[in-house]
Chain A
Protein backbone atom coordinates (compact mmCIF):
# COMPACT_ATOMS: atom_id res chain seq x y z
CA UNK A 1 0.00 0.00 0.00
CA UNK A 2 0.89 3.68 -0.03
CA UNK A 3 2.41 5.22 3.07
CA UNK A 4 4.16 8.43 3.99
CA UNK A 5 5.46 8.52 7.54
CA UNK A 6 6.30 11.66 9.49
CA UNK A 7 7.08 12.22 13.17
CA UNK A 8 3.90 13.28 14.90
CA UNK A 9 5.27 16.26 16.78
CA UNK A 10 8.34 18.46 16.99
CA UNK A 11 9.04 21.31 19.40
CA UNK A 12 11.62 24.07 19.12
CA UNK A 13 12.32 27.60 20.30
CA UNK A 14 12.26 30.84 18.37
CA UNK A 15 15.34 31.42 16.27
CA UNK A 16 16.26 27.75 16.16
CA UNK A 17 16.48 25.40 13.18
CA UNK A 18 14.20 22.38 12.88
CA UNK A 19 14.18 19.45 10.46
CA UNK A 20 11.04 17.44 9.76
CA UNK A 21 11.48 14.10 8.05
CA UNK A 22 9.32 12.15 5.64
CA UNK A 23 9.79 8.57 4.50
CA UNK A 24 7.57 7.25 1.79
CA UNK A 25 6.55 4.00 0.21
CA UNK A 26 4.40 4.47 -2.87
CA UNK A 27 3.67 2.55 -6.04
CA UNK A 28 4.99 5.42 -8.13
CA UNK A 29 7.00 8.56 -7.46
CA UNK A 30 6.87 11.77 -9.44
CA UNK A 31 7.85 14.34 -6.85
CA UNK A 32 7.67 15.27 -3.16
CA UNK A 33 5.86 18.39 -1.98
CA UNK A 34 5.52 20.10 1.39
CA UNK A 35 2.46 21.92 2.70
CA UNK A 36 1.86 23.99 5.83
CA UNK A 37 -1.49 24.03 7.61
CA UNK A 38 -2.42 26.21 10.56
CA UNK A 39 -5.21 24.97 12.82
CA UNK A 40 -8.58 25.37 11.10
CA UNK A 41 -6.97 26.68 7.95
CA UNK A 42 -6.22 25.54 4.45
CA UNK A 43 -2.95 23.85 3.53
CA UNK A 44 -0.55 26.11 1.66
CA UNK A 45 2.24 25.05 -0.65
CA UNK A 46 5.80 25.41 0.60
CA UNK A 47 8.17 23.46 -1.60
CA UNK A 48 8.56 20.79 -4.26
CA UNK A 49 11.37 18.37 -5.14
CA UNK A 50 11.32 16.31 -8.29
CA UNK A 51 15.01 15.46 -8.26
CA UNK A 52 17.53 14.58 -5.56
CA UNK A 53 19.06 17.44 -3.65
CA UNK A 54 18.20 20.57 -1.78
CA UNK A 55 15.71 23.27 -2.77
CA UNK A 56 15.85 26.55 -0.88
CA UNK A 57 13.13 29.17 -0.60
CA UNK A 58 13.93 31.81 1.99
CA UNK A 59 13.84 30.28 5.48
CA UNK A 60 12.52 27.01 4.10
CA UNK A 61 14.59 24.27 2.46
CA UNK A 62 13.50 20.86 1.27
CA UNK A 63 15.66 17.85 0.54
CA UNK A 64 14.99 14.67 -1.40
CA UNK A 65 16.80 11.37 -1.74
CA UNK A 66 14.90 9.10 -4.10
CA UNK A 67 17.21 6.15 -3.50
CA UNK A 68 16.35 6.31 0.21
CA UNK A 69 12.66 7.19 -0.34
CA UNK A 70 13.29 10.03 2.08
CA UNK A 71 12.94 13.75 2.27
CA UNK A 72 12.95 16.50 4.84
CA UNK A 73 11.82 20.05 5.34
CA UNK A 74 14.22 22.41 7.10
CA UNK A 75 13.00 25.59 8.75
CA UNK A 76 15.54 28.18 9.85
CA UNK A 77 15.21 31.21 12.13
CA UNK A 78 12.01 29.83 13.57
CA UNK A 79 9.21 32.25 14.35
CA UNK A 80 6.12 31.80 16.48
CA UNK A 81 3.97 31.94 13.36
CA UNK A 82 5.68 28.77 12.11
CA UNK A 83 3.69 26.77 14.66
CA UNK A 84 1.52 24.63 12.40
CA UNK A 85 1.21 21.18 10.92
CA UNK A 86 3.51 20.25 8.06
CA UNK A 87 2.62 17.59 5.53
CA UNK A 88 4.77 15.93 2.93
CA UNK A 89 2.94 14.71 -0.15
CA UNK A 90 3.89 12.44 -3.02
CA UNK A 91 2.64 12.58 -6.58
CA UNK A 92 2.33 8.90 -7.36
CA UNK A 93 1.11 9.26 -10.94
CA UNK A 94 2.68 11.03 -13.91
CA UNK A 95 2.52 14.80 -14.27
CA UNK A 96 -0.82 15.95 -15.52
CA UNK A 97 -3.00 14.35 -12.89
CA UNK A 98 -1.74 16.38 -9.91
CA UNK A 99 -3.08 13.77 -7.51
CA UNK A 100 -1.22 13.84 -4.21
CA UNK A 101 -0.97 11.35 -1.35
CA UNK A 102 -0.39 13.16 1.93
CA UNK A 103 1.78 12.08 4.83
CA UNK A 104 0.70 11.67 8.43
CA UNK A 105 1.84 15.20 9.25
CA UNK A 106 4.18 16.74 11.82
CA UNK A 107 2.84 19.23 14.31
CA UNK A 108 5.47 21.89 15.01
CA UNK A 109 5.26 23.93 18.17
CA UNK A 110 7.54 26.93 18.49
CA UNK A 111 8.11 28.33 21.97
CA UNK A 112 9.43 31.78 22.92
Chain B
Protein backbone atom coordinates (compact mmCIF):
# COMPACT_ATOMS: atom_id res chain seq x y z
CA UNK B 1 0.00 0.00 0.00
CA UNK B 2 0.93 3.64 -0.28
CA UNK B 3 3.14 5.02 2.46
CA UNK B 4 3.30 8.56 3.79
CA UNK B 5 6.17 9.47 6.07
CA UNK B 6 5.98 12.40 8.47
CA UNK B 7 8.84 13.84 10.52
CA UNK B 8 9.46 14.65 13.26
CA UNK B 9 7.05 12.57 15.29
CA UNK B 10 7.44 14.77 18.32
CA UNK B 11 8.94 18.20 18.85
CA UNK B 12 9.25 20.45 21.87
CA UNK B 13 10.21 24.05 21.27
CA UNK B 14 10.36 27.39 23.00
CA UNK B 15 7.77 30.05 22.39
CA UNK B 16 8.74 32.31 19.50
CA UNK B 17 10.69 29.73 17.53
CA UNK B 18 9.68 28.17 14.22
CA UNK B 19 9.14 24.49 13.61
CA UNK B 20 9.18 22.68 10.26
CA UNK B 21 7.28 19.44 9.71
CA UNK B 22 7.92 17.30 6.64
CA UNK B 23 5.48 15.03 4.86
CA UNK B 24 6.70 12.66 2.15
CA UNK B 25 4.88 10.21 -0.06
CA UNK B 26 7.39 7.37 -0.31
CA UNK B 27 6.09 5.21 -3.14
CA UNK B 28 3.72 7.41 -5.11
CA UNK B 29 3.47 10.92 -6.43
CA UNK B 30 1.09 13.24 -4.65
CA UNK B 31 0.10 16.38 -6.49
CA UNK B 32 -2.07 17.27 -3.52
CA UNK B 33 -1.41 16.85 0.18
CA UNK B 34 -3.52 17.92 3.11
CA UNK B 35 -2.58 19.21 6.54
CA UNK B 36 -4.81 18.56 9.53
CA UNK B 37 -4.72 19.58 13.15
CA UNK B 38 -6.14 17.41 15.88
CA UNK B 39 -6.75 18.14 19.56
CA UNK B 40 -6.89 15.26 22.08
CA UNK B 41 -9.91 13.05 21.50
CA UNK B 42 -11.23 15.43 18.86
CA UNK B 43 -11.75 15.32 15.13
CA UNK B 44 -9.30 16.14 12.38
CA UNK B 45 -9.62 19.75 11.32
CA UNK B 46 -8.44 20.51 7.81
CA UNK B 47 -6.00 23.40 7.85
CA UNK B 48 -4.93 23.63 4.24
CA UNK B 49 -4.59 21.90 0.91
CA UNK B 50 -1.06 21.79 -0.40
CA UNK B 51 -0.69 21.81 -4.18
CA UNK B 52 2.57 20.95 -5.91
CA UNK B 53 4.01 23.96 -7.65
CA UNK B 54 1.40 26.44 -6.47
CA UNK B 55 0.22 28.23 -3.38
CA UNK B 56 -1.60 26.33 -0.69
CA UNK B 57 -5.31 26.79 -0.16
CA UNK B 58 -6.09 27.58 3.46
CA UNK B 59 -9.33 26.87 5.28
CA UNK B 60 -11.26 29.69 6.81
CA UNK B 61 -9.75 30.86 10.07
CA UNK B 62 -6.27 29.42 9.44
CA UNK B 63 -3.54 32.05 9.38
CA UNK B 64 -1.46 31.57 6.26
CA UNK B 65 1.39 33.65 7.66
CA UNK B 66 1.45 31.53 10.78
CA UNK B 67 1.31 28.16 9.06
CA UNK B 68 3.55 28.26 6.00
CA UNK B 69 3.08 25.43 3.54
CA UNK B 70 5.45 24.56 0.75
CA UNK B 71 4.90 21.74 -1.75
CA UNK B 72 8.19 21.78 -3.61
CA UNK B 73 7.94 18.41 -5.32
CA UNK B 74 5.47 15.65 -6.07
CA UNK B 75 6.60 13.76 -2.98
CA UNK B 76 7.26 16.44 -0.36
CA UNK B 77 5.17 19.00 1.46
CA UNK B 78 6.31 20.97 4.49
CA UNK B 79 4.40 22.82 7.18
CA UNK B 80 6.27 25.50 9.10
CA UNK B 81 4.72 26.83 12.27
CA UNK B 82 6.23 30.29 12.58
CA UNK B 83 6.76 32.10 15.88
CA UNK B 84 5.12 29.25 17.74
CA UNK B 85 3.10 29.93 20.87
CA UNK B 86 1.69 27.53 23.47
CA UNK B 87 -1.74 27.66 21.81
CA UNK B 88 -0.15 26.13 18.70
CA UNK B 89 0.57 22.97 20.67
CA UNK B 90 -1.32 20.20 18.95
CA UNK B 91 -1.10 17.02 16.88
CA UNK B 92 -0.49 17.84 13.21
CA UNK B 93 -1.11 15.19 10.55
CA UNK B 94 -0.54 15.24 6.83
CA UNK B 95 -2.23 13.11 4.22
CA UNK B 96 -1.95 12.42 0.53
CA UNK B 97 -4.02 10.67 -2.07
CA UNK B 98 -3.29 8.76 -5.23
CA UNK B 99 -5.41 10.94 -7.45
CA UNK B 100 -7.21 8.95 -10.11
CA UNK B 101 -6.40 5.60 -8.46
CA UNK B 102 -8.79 5.31 -5.55
CA UNK B 103 -10.68 7.25 -2.92
CA UNK B 104 -8.31 6.64 -0.05
CA UNK B 105 -6.32 9.18 1.87
CA UNK B 106 -3.02 7.96 3.27
CA UNK B 107 -1.91 9.62 6.46
CA UNK B 108 1.45 10.32 7.99
CA UNK B 109 2.05 9.20 11.56
CA UNK B 110 1.58 12.73 12.86
CA UNK B 111 3.69 15.26 14.74
CA UNK B 112 3.00 16.13 18.35
CA UNK B 113 4.07 19.75 18.81
CA UNK B 114 4.55 21.11 22.31
CA UNK B 115 5.39 24.79 22.66
CA UNK B 116 6.73 25.84 26.05
Asked if A31 and B103 make an inter-chain contact with CB atoms under 8 angstroms apart, the answer reads yes
Chain B contact residues (Cβ within 8 angstroms of A): what range?
A: 20 to 34
A-B contact count (CB 8 A): 58
Instruction: Tell me what chain B mostly uses at the interface: helix, strand, loop, or mixed.
Output: strand
**How many residues on the A side are at the interface (Cβ–Cβ under 8 A)?**
25
Q: B54: CB under 8 A from chain A?
A: no
> In the complex, which residues 92-112 of chain A have their Cβ closer than 8 Å to any Cβ of chain B?
96-105, 107
Judge whether A98 and B44 touch: CB under 8 Å: no
In A62-94, which residues have CB < 8 Å from any B CB? 85, 87, 91
- Chain A residues at the B interface, C-beta cutoff of 8 Å: 31, 33, 35, 40-45, 48, 50, 85, 87, 91, 96-105, 107
Interface residues of B (CB under 8 A from A): 32, 34, 36, 41-46, 49, 93, 95, 97, 99-100, 103-110
